[in-house]
Structure formats: C-alpha cells, structure tokens
A = this chain, B = another copy of it.
Amino acid sequence: MTGHVFIATSLDGYIARPDGDIGWLLARDDPQEDHGYDAFIADKDAIVMGRGSYEKVATFDTWPYDRPVLVLSRQLAGTPVPDRLRGKVRFADLAPLDAMRALEQDGARRVYVDGGQVVQAFLRAGLIEDMVITTVPVLIGAGRRLFGELPGDRDLALVASRSFPSGLVQSTYRVLP
C-alpha cells in the first residue's frame, strides 16, 4: 500500500485561499496543456481526501472521479452520503494507517492522497511514496498550506521536473525512507 500525491500550489505554498477558494488556480489552468493527471490516476485504485477537498469538489456540476473516494472527516463520519454520490464516496473518521488498511481490504494498492491536511497527515505517518507538485506562477499571500509540521526532515529525491508554456513548473519527488 502506497500513497501518492498530485497537487497544485501557488509559489508561496498555498493550495487554496483562507476560505477554500481555488478560483486563482482554475483561472491559470490552460486546458490546452496536458499536466499529466490522466497518466497519474491511471494506476491508482482509490482516492483519499479530507472534508475541505470533498466539499469543494462536491460543488462541481459533475463528480470528477472514477475511483472510489474515501473522505476522512470526523464531522462527516456517520452522516449519509448524498444520493448522487452513493457507491462512489464513503465517509470515515480514520487515522492515515487505518484508512490505508480499510482500502487494502477493498483490494486497493496505490492510493491518490489529496488535500493539504490529509497530505500532511499521511506524510507524518510515512505513507507517501511520491509527490507530483505543480507550482502555479502566482503569490497569493495567505491561505491553506500544502505542507505542515513534521516530526523530522523528509528527504526527497527529484524524479523529474518540467515546465509548461503557461508557466507551471511540475516536479515529481520520491519520499526517501
């Protein structure tokens, strides 16, 4: 069981504004460019995210995921999943390792880990194998951070880095043991 991150951040390290807004990010997404999400998700079996990410995605007109989604949230756990998402989404209040074990029982091996708080918790638990970080050329000055506190340094190995005409820089890191 391994966790894998694919996420975009402002140059100053934010994945969303303080209120969760990602309009600044969507406005800078050039649909002509292939940023590799389809290739990334192709070999993932499930998706784990937090309430913040779930509630943002749930406002979209169409549910964008074709993999089972596990939403880790104390607040949502035990509440009913909306009708249109039944069979696609589960809510649970689980620590990272327990979440991975639950997904493993469903046959998952490679898990897409999304959202700032969840990425941070999985990094602290040593459950992230690699991260694709796409840096958007803007400073937004405040917001929800991609990274947080750690019990110690996490050494990374750069696997690849590329840039796009839109100004995105996408770097792939392996988390070293």
Which of A12, A139, A149, A161 lies at the interface centre, i.e. has the most chain B CB atoms within 10 A of its CB? A139
Q: For A28, give the chain B residue with the smallest CB separation.
A: B155
Shortest beta-carbon distance, A159 to chain B, in Å? Answer: 9
Whether the Cβ atoms of A133 and B171 lie closer than 8 Å is no
Q: Which residues of B contact A12 (CB under 8 A)?
A: 13, 146-147
A169-B167 contact in complex given A149-B141, A156-B11, C-beta closer than 8 Å: no
Query: Could you tell me the distance between the alpha carbons of A148 and B157 in the complex, rounded to whole angstroms?
Result: 27
Query: Could you tell me the distance between the alpha carbons of A157 and B141 in the complex, rounded to whole angstroms?
Result: 17
Q: Which residues of B contact A147 (CB under 8 A)?
A: 11-13, 139, 141
Q: How many protomers of this protein does the assembly include?
A: 2
Query: Could you tell me the distance between the alpha carbons of A135 and B11 in the complex, rounded to whole angstroms?
Result: 11
Query: Could you tell me the distance between the alpha carbons of A139 and B5 in the complex, rounded to whole angstroms?
Result: 15
Is A80 an interface position by the 8 A CB rule?
A: no
Whether the Cβ atoms of A150 and B158 lie closer than 8 Å is no
A137-B152 contact in complex given A13-B13, A173-B11, C-beta closer than 8 Å: no
A156-B152 contact in complex given A11-B173, A137-B173, A147-B13, C-beta closer than 8 Å: no
Query: Could you tell me the distance between the alpha carbons of A142 and B140 in the complex, rounded to whole angstroms?
Result: 20
Is A154 an interface position by the 8 A CB rule?
A: yes
Whether the Cβ atoms of B163 and A167 lie closer than 8 Å is no
Shortest beta-carbon distance, A162 to chain B, in Å? Answer: 8
Q: For A163, give its contact among B133, B146, B154, B171 (CB under 8 Å).
A: B171
Is A138 an interface position by the 8 A CB rule?
A: yes
Q: Which residues of A contact B (CB under 8 A)?
A: 11-13, 24, 123, 133, 135, 137-142, 146-158, 161, 163, 167-169, 171, 173
